[in-house]
Structure 1
Amino acid sequence: MAELHDLTALDQWQALQKGEFSPLDLTEHYLARIERLNPELGAFVTVTPDAARARAAEVEQSVPCTAPIWGLPFGDKDLEMRAGVPTRFGSRLFADFVPPISDEIVEALDTAGGVSLGKTATPEFGLPSYTESLAGPPARNPWDPTLGSGGSSGGAAVAVASGMLPFAPGSDGGGSVRIPAAACGLVGLKPSRGRVPGGSAIDSLAGLAVPGPLARTASDAALLFDAMIAPSGYPVDHHYALRAPGDDGPFLAAAVRGEGRFQLGVMTTSAWDSAYDITIAPEARQALADAVAAFSTMGHGIEETALEPDDSFAPAFRTIWQAGAASIPAETPEQEELLEPLTRWLMHRGRELSARTLAEALKTLAAYERSLIRQLSRFDAVLTPALALTPRPIGWYDSEDGERNFAQQVQYTPFTSMLNVSGLPAIVLPISETDAGLPMGVQIIGRPGGEATLLALGAQLERRVHWERRHPQGW
């Protein structure tokens, strides 16, 4: 007999609606899973059992059961503030920080009827694409605990893949939802810039980071995505004129139906090819080939394509990555000592940048956004490998040499950051396994605002490979 965590999030929501179990029953089930599994896997950095039980009771008594994720547990990524709960940003510098207010995305998921069980692990300030912070144990990949989970939403991915949560919110500033989703065999959706009101990226440096869901199925991802966008099911504050949050939604319908025939591009080039030696592992190529074969069999149009060489992207993105660390509040030697070597390097490099250098980098990336959208515009969606390599061992990244560390991150995941720069939506979908039983995924890039197409394609692929039936052994 299947246990509660074996059910999809959508199945759990439907069972809650029927009264087969209560929000408190579900909360207790997942808290027990966390207590048993988290010490070995490091998915959560903070667990809040008392608050979770009180919240589950509140949801059952006071929140309309029609709320988008009524009674479903989730975990806040430790980059997001929840009032009264320690928020450490993956850093020893914030070991004692307890925020008095919550971030907007946290409030949105509460309004949507969710039950937070605690905070999921992230690397220091979410800067690297792996989750191995000195502030806590590494987030270990449930498929092989000697391997990393990716990042920066690594704890969220581990929690979902191991059945400690039905789904989880993450954030993606250079691949931070898609990388751990690919490493842990999950669906990970990076929305279009401006799509989610509680994290539009429009008001941030270069507009890179947006919230997105990690889940086991396309429908589960859509369920959480809808909750992020319009948590009450009614119009919300639009904040910006770029896009109204209700446009094209709700997205759950697109994921459940999984309809449509599309013209798909296929490419293995990236924005980093001019600056780094990018090698795509045979397992990554095979995952892409498997996805192409499946979509071709379904009747979609398939055409190979390649990006135009562009030497401007790499130095401009490096500049923005360093500039993003410049405002870290470490002003004294004692505070700096609490930072990890990579973070200190990034912070100092960011503070050395001139205003002219930063302005030129922003201008370059804005031009790249227009270029990439133009190059991909003849396709409904474009397939790439999700990662260039198989999941990396814990400790693989150089923790002392910033330049080498940056190169390693690019070589592992060259296909993600260009989409944060361009603001395009993208989804990672599990498709195959390596000989060692590790999950491998494919990335699909959408047109601006094209999340419905991505979720429909995800549902179609899911019906052929049934990845929701695959679970890491032993958890």
Structure 2
Amino acid sequence: MSELHYLTATELARLIKTRQVSAVEVLRAHLDRIDKVNPAVNAVVTLAAGHALEAAEAADRALAAGEPTGPLHGVPVAHKDLHDTAGIRTTYGSPLFAEHVPEQDDLMVRRLRAAGAITVGKTNTPEFGTGSHTVNEVFGATRNPYDLSKSAGGSSGGAAVALATGMVALADGSDMGGSLRNPASFCNVVGLRPTPGRVPAPSDTAAWYTLSVPGPMARTVEDVTLMLGAVAGFDRRSPYAIKEVFAPEPEQGVAGLRVAWSPDLGGLPVDPRTAAVTATAPAVFEGLGARVEQVELDLEGADDAFRTYRAWFYLLAHGDKSGLGPNTAWNVEQGRKVTGADLAGAEIARSRLYQRMAAFFDTYDVLIAPVSQVPPFPVEHPHVSEINGHKLPDYLSWMRSAYWVSVLHAPAASVPAGFTPEGLPVGVQIIGRPFEDARVLRVARAFELATGHGRRRPAL
């Protein structure tokens, strides 16, 4: 019990429900951890200690009174600073909203609170979640806890670091081009990009936009599954929300499953250190009884489709703002160049890709591949500019192994796969058929249990 802050959310929920520990005790252990380690990593950027203490005391009173409790009763959670939290500052990582305090919670935040989770604070993100490196002009950079000189990834970098260091048991995030998967890979935690609509994201401006999805992060697949069960579910304000109730698959391993392995997602450059770690994954699955086959993947059209839809979205969401940071402004300018013909081409390319992958998944149950093409890079670098001697044309290009997958409308999890010789974490990406989030999590859980890489903690 001396390290409550590193117990899983599943275990904390059980201990609180059986009254072996109180929600207040659990909260204080995590607040103490934040006080000790957050100054070094800058992951939690707005702390809501008073709010959290009131909620924890109320959670304990509810248990004492025998009132019904949710699956996350008393479990500490942090929310990405893109997600609105009523009465708690939400900046979106932008100086334009540095003192913004919303009046209402986002749907995901509301569902987490309804499940009994205790909001501890907000986690750092680049401006409007733009990019896979967590740095902004409001709070500065979030540092990787395994090497403080390195990036934590992004855009849910603060969430990943808060989890890796035991500051919270659960964290939410969002993923357009890898923002749940890349920081999970960089920080040795688990992130799930759910099938679009699994966790609805109602919007007044981009209700039909499916590239960006909210989702769960945790230190274990079991905790991600628990959290997904709390936040998934139909909401009629989202036109593509999934009505099917999310139900986890039993932990029955992966024996007999057909696993496709792509070391480079169809020809992308991959850093040799990342390649060496992810190349160990196929043997793990073979040892578990799966049938593994290396494949030549055809994701033609994914790049153009993603970039076109992303640019269009940034113009839609931020085209009326002045004073934007350079990455967000660049995306808006790309959006101003998008034509009707561009959108038509993107729709055709994405539709053809979807049908090719539907045929692919007639043969294979899951696809495994690197999450990111590189391990964590120096924190002072704005982005990766070169991989294996390949010069990259812009700050988006190093994220292709994640954002090509975003176009597939498929669930994808990042699970710890090992470490580079320098001790930097590397994740493997497990991609499933659209709507088969439970299958992806079952496979991820089997890999996690077989390897144990996620149990390694940063030496802060």
Taking structure 2 as the reference length, what is the TM-score of the superposition?
0.91
Q: In the aligned structure 2, how far is the partner of 1:358 from the partner of 1:245?
A: 30
Q: Structure 2 CA distance, aligned partners of 1:138 and 1:354?
A: 35
What is the CA deviation profile of residues 440-469 of structure 1, one whole-angstrom value per residue up to 9, with x for unaligned ones?
111111112222222222222222222242
Taking the aligned partners of 1:128 and 1:160, their CA distance within structure 2 comes to: 20
Residue type of the alignment partner of 1:9: A
The reply to whether residue 341 of structure 1 matches residue 331 of structure 2 is no
In structure 1, the residue matched to 2:429 is 443
Shift in CA distance, 191/184, structure 1 to aligned 2, threshold 3 Å: same
Letter in 2 for 1:4: L
1:363 and 1:290 map into 2 onto residues whose CA distance is 36
Aligned alpha-carbon RMSD (Å): 2.6
Which position in structure 2 is the counterpart of 1:304? 294
Contact 1:108–1:198 under 8 Å retained in 2? no
Q: Report if the CA contact (8 A) 1:108-1:228 is conserved.
A: yes
Report Cα offsets for 1:90-145 as digits up to 9, x if no partner: 11111122112111111111111111111111111112111011221211110001
Give the CA deviation at 1:283.
2.1
- Alignment match of 2:372 (pick from 387, 398, 422): 387
Stretch deviating more after TM superposition (449-458 or 348-357) = 348-357
Distance 1:85 1:27 in 2: 18
**In structure 2, what is the equivalent of residue 88 of structure 1?**
91
Match of 1:314 among 298, 303, 307: 303
Greater shift, 347-356 or 431-440, is seen at: 347-356
Displacement of 1:213 in angstroms is: 1.4
Determine the structure 2 residue equivalent to 1:125. Answer: 128
Q: 1: distance between equivalents of 2:173 and 2:232?
A: 14
Once the 2 structures are TM-superposed, how far is the Cα of residue 167 of structure 1 from its aligned partner? 1.8
Q: In 1, distance between residues paired with 2:409 and 2:203?
A: 10
Per the TM alignment, residue 240 of structure 1 is displaced from its structure 2 partner at its CA by 4.7
- The structural deviation recorded for 1:315 is 2.7
Q: Which residue of 2 aligns with 1:463?
A: 449
Deviation at 1:316, TM superposition (A): 3.0
Match of 2:232 in 1: 229
Partner of 2:388: none
CA, structure 1 residues 200+62, in 2 after alignment: closer, same or farther (shift >3 Å)? farther
Offset of residue 322 of structure 1: 1.8
Identity %: 32
DSSP-derived class of the 1:21 partner: coil
Specify every segment of 5 or more residues in structure 1 that has no aligned partner in the other structure, as ranges. Answer: none
| Alpha-carbon offset, residue 262 of structure 1 | 0.8
Distance in 2 of aligned mates of 1:425 and 1:270:
16
> 1:290 maps to what in 2?
280
For structure 2, which runs of at least 5 residues remain unmatched after alignment? 386-390
Contact 2:200-2:241 at 8 Å conserved across structures: no
**Which segment drifts farther, 22-31 or 414-423?**
414-423
Q: Is the aligned partner of 1:431 residue 2:430?
A: no
With normalisation by structure 1, the TM-score equals: 0.88
- Between the aligned partners of 1:372 and 1:118, the Cα distance in structure 2 is 39
Q: CA deviation at 1:266?
A: 0.6
Preserved contact between residue 417 and residue 453 of structure 2 (Cα < 8 Å): yes
Q: Deviations over 1:55-97 (max 9, x none)?
A: 1122333485541211101111111111121111111111122
Equivalence map 1:29-428=2 (5 Å): 29-62=29-62, 64=67, 66-198=69-201, 204=207, 206-230=209-233, 240=239, 243-247=242-246, 249=247, 251=248, 254=250, 258=253, 260-270=255-265, 273=267, 278-308=268-298, 310=300, 312-329=301-318, 331=320, 336-337=322-323, 339-397=324-382, 407-411=394-398, 413-428=399-414
Aligned residues: 452
How far apart are the structure 1 equivalents of 2:337 and 2:240?
Answer: 34
